[in-house]
Amino acid sequence: MKRILISGGAGFIGSHLCERLLGEGNDVICLDNYFTGHKSNIRHLLAHPNFEVVRHDIIYPYTAEVEEIYNLACPASPIYYQHDPIKTTQTSVLGALNMLGMAKYNRGKILQASTSEVYGDPLIHPQKEEYWGHVNPLGVRSCYDEGKRCAESLVMSYHRQHGVRTKIVRIFNTYGPKMDINDGRVVSNFIVQALRGEDITIYGDGNQTRSFQYIDDLVEGMIRLMDDTPDDFTGPVNIGNPHEFTIGELAREVIELTGSRSQIVHLPLPEDDPRQRQPDITLARQMLGNWEPTVQLREGLRKTIGYFEEVLTRGGVRR
């Protein structure tokens, strides 16, 4: 049994990670301020004898005796991270400082959740970890993009200066059950609009591409990065599904799987929205025990649609 802290543990990704780590026999502390996380995501875990929940905002210091930290706390969808851009940057930067400080104090190991957004609107395709990115530091997305880039810098500084055992994962578009119905991400948007019979809104011409990863594949990759790589291997490592789809293809797939009569409508492309996003996962395959995404888009969408069907039958309220 390991004692593990997950910041952002009530969020979409964090709650799945809590389930997996508890299932493996670990003692888990879930830290969350519920800005984007939901108690409903972890309610079924509350009776577990090895599970503890603490309501806390990681921009303020927190201390616990733990062996591993997964630092996931930060709003990750544009609707939420642009709602309070200063708070978003604080969470990325001050939150990383506080979690790294706790890892140093405990002589523990920390995994920092970064993002494909550090590549910005990439000029290299697909994106490899050594690519430095093409990011607008002044745009409306910069609070998140630059916050995560700074967090990566802090992680490497703690590793070099203090010898903290650190890991960086760059997460590409991830979807699955427990996504927020109102988070504005493309997969949840399309599914909810299709199930409601509303127009499906595509921003831009729909030819921009994304690579969609099911949540179980991400959790598997993160745990392998934390547990199965040498201490001197910090990453960053891209974790994503390299199969590339246009947004228009995704919309048509959702319409088919839901049996919806929704029509596709086009709206203006948001500022700094990337035209292409596809991970090169060569490094993950090499370092994570031949890790490979196993859930392809159609299968993952069916599972996610089933989840949202249940949520919508309750009037959009999650239990």
Domain ranges of the chain: 3-176+212-242+277-294
Distance, in Å, from the CA atom of 17 to the CA atom of 222, rounded to the nearest integer, reads: 9
> Is the C-alpha dihedral spanning 25, 169, 211, 181 positive or negative?
positive
Distance, in Å, from the CA atom of 303 to the CA atom of 113, rounded to the nearest integer, reads: 24
- 196 contacts 208 by C-beta, under 8 angstroms: no
Owner of token pair 């309610």: 43
SS3 state of residue 240: coil
Distance, in Å, from the CA atom of 216 to the CA atom of 295, rounded to the nearest integer, reads: 8
Give the pLDDT confidence score for residue 318 in this predicted structure: 59
Counting residues of the chain whose pLDDT is more than 70, the rounded percentage is 98
The terminus-to-terminus CA distance of the chain in angstroms comes to 29
Give the pLDDT confidence score for residue 79 in this predicted structure: 86
Q: Packing angle between helix 297-313 and helix 247-258, nearest 10 degrees?
A: 60
The DSSP call for residue 1 is -
Give the pLDDT confidence score for residue 77 in this predicted structure: 83
Q: Which candidate in 81, 144, 175, 214 is catalytic?
A: 144
Beta strand residue intervals within the chain, DSSP E: 3-7, 27-32, 51-55, 68-71, 109-115, 165-171, 174-175, 200-203, 209-211, 213-214, 237-239, 244-246, 264-267
Domain spanning 3-176+212-242+277-294, CATH architecture: 3-Layer(aba) Sandwich (3.40)
* Mean pLDDT of the residues in the chain: 94
Question: Residue 111 has which token pair?
Answer: 């995994």
Give the pLDDT confidence score for residue 317 in this predicted structure: 59
Q: How do the residues of the chain divide into helix, strand and coil, expressed in percent and rounded to 5?
A: 40, 20, 40
- 35 contacts 79 by C-beta, under 8 angstroms: no
Distance, in Å, from the CA atom of 193 to the CA atom of 268, rounded to the nearest integer, reads: 18
Give the pLDDT confidence score for residue 316 in this predicted structure: 63
Owner of token pair 């399309």: 190
Question: Residue 217 has which token pair?
Answer: 């594949």
HSE at residue 208, side-chain half, CA atoms within 13 A, is 17
Distance, in Å, from the CA atom of 39 to the CA atom of 139, rounded to the nearest integer, reads: 32
Number of other residues whose CB lies within 10 A of the CB of residue 108: 19
Segments in the chain below pLDDT 50 = none
- 11 contacts 37 by C-beta, under 8 angstroms: yes
What pTM did the predictor assign? 0.94
| 144 annotated active-site | yes
